[in-house]
Amino acid sequence: MDIQLRPQVIFDGLHFKITGSKSETNRLLLLQAIFPEIQLQNISASDDAEVMAKALSASDRIIDVHHAGTAMRFLTAFFAAKEGSEVEITGSPRMKERPIRILVDALKSLGAEIEYQETEGFPPLLIKGKKLTGSKVSLQGNVSSQYISALLLIAPKLESGLELELLGELTSIPYIKMTLSLLEKIGVKTTLIGNSMMVAPKPRSLSPEHVTLTIESDWSSASYFYSIIALASAGTSVTLSSYRQNSLQGDSALAEIYSPLGVDTIYSNNMITLKKRKCDPKPLLLNLSNTPDIAQTLAVTCFGLGIPCALTGLHTLKIKETDRLQALKNELEKLGAAVSITNNSLQFPASAEINQNIAIETYNDHRMAMAFAPLSIKIPIIIKDAGVVSKSYPGFWDDFERIGLNVIRS
């Protein structure tokens, strides 16, 4: 399905209930598989969460995670530590290009039995679950936080827990802290000192206060509303729920990041109201090593505002659903930007005009579709393969239509 978007007057003051955080949901679904007494509320409606839940409850020998990178990493660790199981985890053609050796090597050092079925270092994997006897592992600190979180999440299953040391510079720290915080919420003791962390073995049972958890709504999904408000006229506002000011999600940095772009964030009763004020935005220079998932949204916002943009800390974007740096360069240049990229950065000068009626390729990447959609406030634009948004935000186009944008499905 392709979607044509055309500018219309934005409805002011609407309230949207955003689905639960995909990041929190997938972590808690895995912990629920270890501690069945856990009850979860506001579970993410995303494809990724559905894949995760299905895989954890399935009896099939072959598990296909499709494009769900988080599920691939988390399930690899889970089944490696599930005694007596034998599964093959596979995925889409793109998933088979996404490296997993770092995690596999770490699990093998703990005693796991894992074999590559096609290309060395990449999925699919044959995993024979067994009791993991190791209790210490070291990883480079600049690897994907999903590798680190996968190990931390299975740590309660290990007889002696896990001591994990990260070497060198750390990236995506908020996602690691999220994992540790969720473990604490269910009663598992954790310690984080410098680059070292420890997770204790699981308690025999959870106390009642640790059993029912409400998942916060997804801040990454909120980013598209930040972009809409940033590109809208002064005074426009929208309210989103359910959000906490002391969020575990790294992307809650949106509130601070978008303030210089004219968007105020007002917290009240587990809701946030985003309101546009008059603003003369300056060039945006940011290191997004802790919040790489909002890079595409920010780049498009800056382009739409006609301001220069220089983003660094983006080294993990090349191994996402697509090479997001190259994809951003391709599509922004079609719209009239002059984009330069390296292995970990993207930048462009201000553009005076935006080319209209451009068809944006989404590369099977949900964030490409949603990041470019807010430009329709300013110009007509076409989003190819628009159904890809179901990976993280199935109701995205319905909400876009409700906010007043002209959404034409074809």
Question: Which segments are annotated as binding site?
Answer: 22-23, 27, 69, 98, 144-146, 172, 293, 320, 324, 367, 391
Beta carbons within 8 Å of 160's beta carbon, 6+ residues apart: 135, 201
The structure tokens 């330069």 sit at 340
Query: Taking Cα atoms as reference points, which of 335, 365, 338 lies closest to residue 353?
Result: 335
What is the rounded distance in angstroms from the CA atom of residue 405 to the CA atom of residue 378? 11
Strand 406-409 to 3-6 pairing: antiparallel
Q: Which of 47, 218, 251, 293 is catalytic?
A: 293
**DSSP letter for each residue of 143-209:** S-HHHHHHHHHHGGGSTT-EEEEEESS---HHHHHHHHHHHHHTT--EEEETTEEEEPPPPSS--GG
Binding residues for phosphoenolpyruvate: 22, 69, 98, 146, 324, 367, 391
DSSP 307: -
User: What is d(CA 356, CA 267) in angstroms, rounded to the nearest whole number?
Assistant: 36
List binding-site positions for 3-phosphoshikimate: 22-23, 27, 144-146, 172, 293, 320
Encoded tokens for 327: 């994809």
| Type of residue numbered 353 | E
Asked if 293 is an active-site residue, the reply is yes
| Positions marked catalytic | 293
